[in-house]
Amino acid sequence: MRRAAAVVACVLLSAGVFGETVGWRGDGSGCYPDADPPLHWGRESVAVSQLRCQAARPAEGETGQPMKQGVISEWLVAGPIEVPKGFNLKKDTIVPDAGALRPAEGEELPGTAAKWKKYAVNSTVLDWSTLLGRDHKPGLPPVEVLAHAYVFSPSGGTFGLHAMHSAAGQVFVNGKLATNKADLVKGWNRILLKVLSGKVTCTGGEGLDSRLSLFGMPDGDYATRNVAWIHRMPAIPTWQCSSASTPVIAGDQLFVTCEYRTLVCLDKKNGKLLWVRTSTFYDAMTEEEKKAHPEIVKEIEPLAARLRKTDESYATGAPLEDKKLELEQQISKLMEKVDAGKYSGWGVTRGGGEVGVSIQTPVTDGKRVYVSYVAALLVCYDREGNRQWIRARELKLHGERVIYPPSPILVDGKFIADNPWGTVALDAQTGEQQWRITREDYTGDKGSEIANPDRAVYYRNNLSAFTSSLLSRTLNKEPLLVTTAYVARARDGKFLTCIAEVFYDFIGNGYATPVFNGTTMYKMCKQQDNGGLVDLQVWSFPPSAAEPFKLKKEKSVRIDTQRFPIWCFGEQNASPLVHEGLVYCVSADGVLSVVDVGKGEVVYQQLLDADLFMHHGYGAGRGGMSASPTLAGKHVYLFGNQGTCLMIEPGRSFKLVARNRLENEVKAGWNNHQDLMASSPIFEGRRMYFRTDGYVYCIEEEKP
């Protein structure tokens, strides 16, 4: 069924009622060669679709050209203008009352020798350094750039404003400073950007770039195209309550997690909510603990009953209850009194840090659905929502560390989960522990196998905490577990080799899960404290699991994105995509690098226009592109983390086929941004499913 040339990764698929285990990115490959989703789709604000723009000062009767997807296609730019030492963009000014400017092409900017020049960009990416022929190197004298455009709105009103700048910047709408909203009048409006160059946090390089686009507001009118259904998630996300798990499918049901520890089951045909189940550490409380703390049980039970009632109400169409998360928090805080060492810390009495608590993708064998939540709560349900078993793991927190455990897997009849303190294999049917591997097992006496033994403690505390999913391989009928730290036999947990040096040759980012093509593994490794330099490492596994078990490093290809704007460490959140000898790598900064594996060289690089929202250390969407590139049918799908998807042709040059955007704003408290998407899409036939923080979408060609 799956074409060999298109295979990206093959994880072990244990037989289920539907023939395979489904989890991270479907079967782990991220490749759906037989899929046939629509080419164009989206949800767009009607008011945004009516916007028009131009760089020239409007003459009477002019209405400009269409602003596609809220993007200004041409600007008048003045600069770069050298600024005095100690210049502060927010306090100082080169041009008095710059917000009142109404420039025309060729005019001189008052008080400077700079003249307004027209630039066509047709993109949210405004890389002033490249447009103006200025380098990105650090140490250059600071400069300021002014950019101005005229925007025509036939109706006026308030629009969502997505604007960011690498170093420092401001946006003025009709002379008034704007942050996350733009108030437009009926007719022509003026938008001015003031951008100051300077050192970019985390990278040390110089930044002189912006991104800007307009969105609709939640109470506005929207037009959809090829959207079969949209379902709102029960929990309203906040900056420390986001979720980026990928949906999984079993039969006619689609399963997805949301905050804090909730599993949602939808009818995949129409998006109808079938059931919701929230798990707490109270549900995993042992009988001994209940007998020892009757007063706490008495206090928790009414809260747990209310939480169950809330879950049940969602299936009847009841409105979302904002108190759901509060109920979970109250229960968690009471459980801390039961055992502070077992039920406390990140992901228990507080949020799960940047990625929330429900970051891990569920896994299903077609009969049951298995979930692992941050802070080691493991749960199994049948497809009707009946909980089969629940287990709470011992935490052993290392101080106040935030926890980022990988998604679990099913292999050899076992449900295997991992966190920074060890790996556990449970019998998938009963939940009983089969074996356990602790960090000391492969960083103690085996520490000499690590490239730098002095970092054994670092590995012990962090290695498996920074990757999207566990993996597995079957070598000569022997199922293996592959983590970021080691390879072990799945049947008994027998340690085979420490591969810390494979994943952490350069101690730094390890978020991107490796992928396999046959027995070849591809992994992104970023150099620590050297943003924009990444190695694509290619490793081969032996033909069997016989001991001594050895891996071979075939090659390492350097990927340099430093000539592009670097916003967030130059990280690699997305797993690579392997297709017909080419590897597609996407940085968190939105740079696509296509590598010829055979020749060991970069074929081309492209700064992607995907409406990125980037913030240093922001949520599950850290950076701007967290979703892994996916092959569906004839096209490669590249998602930014605000719901914009670029579809390109696979090959040795960049060929954009379509740019689609789904607008859905979620009130996230402090930033009012578009609904974040950091998970990977999945495909089935003519449909595509994907989730954001607040919604699940189904894309399908509309019937005539």
Averages of pLDDT over each 10 residues, the chain, 704 residues: 30 36 73 92 92 94 89 91 76 74 91 89 82 74 89 93 80 90 94 81 63 84 93 68 83 92 94 94 90 94 93 79 80 85 58 69 94 85 96 58 73 86 88 84 46 41 56 88 84 81 43 83 72 84 90 89 73 86 90 94 92 54 76 93 90 95 62 70 94 90 84
Residue 436: φ, ψ to 5°: -145, 140
Residue that has been written with the tokens 């025309």 in this structure: 104
**DSSP assignment of 612-624:** ----TT-STT-SS
pLDDT for 328 equals: 87
Reading the block at residue 585, the tokens are 């790598």
Residue that has been written with the tokens 């804090």 in this structure: 260
Output the CA torsion sign for 374, 380, 383, 388. negative
d(C-alpha 151, C-alpha 171), whole Å? 14
pLDDT for 200 equals: 57
Q: Which residues contact 514 (CB under 8 A, 6 or more apart)?
A: 471, 482, 503, 521, 522, 523, 575
In this chain, the answer to whether the domains covering 4-41+226-700 and 45-222 adopt an identical fold is no
Domain residue extents for the chain: 4-41+226-700, 45-222
pLDDT for 30 equals: 82
Q: Which residues contact 305 (CB under 8 A, 6 or more apart)?
A: none
Residue that has been written with the tokens 């913030």 in this structure: 615
pLDDT for 161 equals: 87
d(C-alpha 458, C-alpha 460), whole Å? 5
- Residue 159: other Cβ atoms inside 10 A: 25
- Spatial CA neighbour of 693 closest among 357, 308, 228: 357
**DSSP assignment of 283-322:** TT--HHHHHH-HHHHHHHHHHHHHHHHHHHHHTTTPPP-T
- Spatial CA neighbour of 614 closest among 658, 565, 656: 565
pLDDT for 224 equals: 92
pLDDT for 9 equals: 34
pLDDT for 80 equals: 87
**Contact between 587 and 593 (Cβ < 8 Å):** yes
d(C-alpha 438, C-alpha 259), whole Å? 28
d(C-alpha 62, C-alpha 261), whole Å? 54
Has this prediction a pTM greater than 0.75?
yes
d(C-alpha 691, C-alpha 631), whole Å? 17
Reading the block at residue 465, the tokens are 């905490």
CATH class name, domain 45-222: mainly beta
Q: What CATH architecture does domain 4-41+226-700 belong to? A: 7 Propeller (2.130)
Spatial strand order in the sheet of 414-419: 409-411, 414-419, 422-427, 433-438
Exposure of 194 by Cβ count < 10 A (0-12 exposed, 13-18 middle, 19+ buried)?
buried
